[in-house]
Amino acid sequence: MRLNQMKSSQVKWFIGLWFVGFLGLALIAGIFKALLMLAYS
């Protein structure tokens, strides 16, 4: 039972970290795109 609980919390952490990483990448990409648009306008 305890091992199963550990695994589900690890899965939650993995999904949470992946989601945060994905959002961070999207934010960086958006800022980079905005800077490029400013540079070429």
Q: Write the pLDDT tens digit of every residue in 1-41.
A: 566 676 788 899 999 999 999 999 999 999 999 999 999 98
User: How far apart are the C-alpha atoms of 13 and 28, rounded to whole Å?
Assistant: 22
Tell me, rounded to whole angstroms, the distance of Cα 35 from its chain centroid: 21
Amino acid residing at 9:
S
Tokens of 14: 């993995």
Q: Which of 3, 26, 23, 5 is nearest to 15 (CA)?
A: 23
Q: Which of 3, 28, 9 is nearest to 20 (CA)?
A: 28
Q: Is the pTM of this model over 0.75?
A: no
Specify the pLDDT at position 2: 67
Specify the pLDDT at position 1: 56
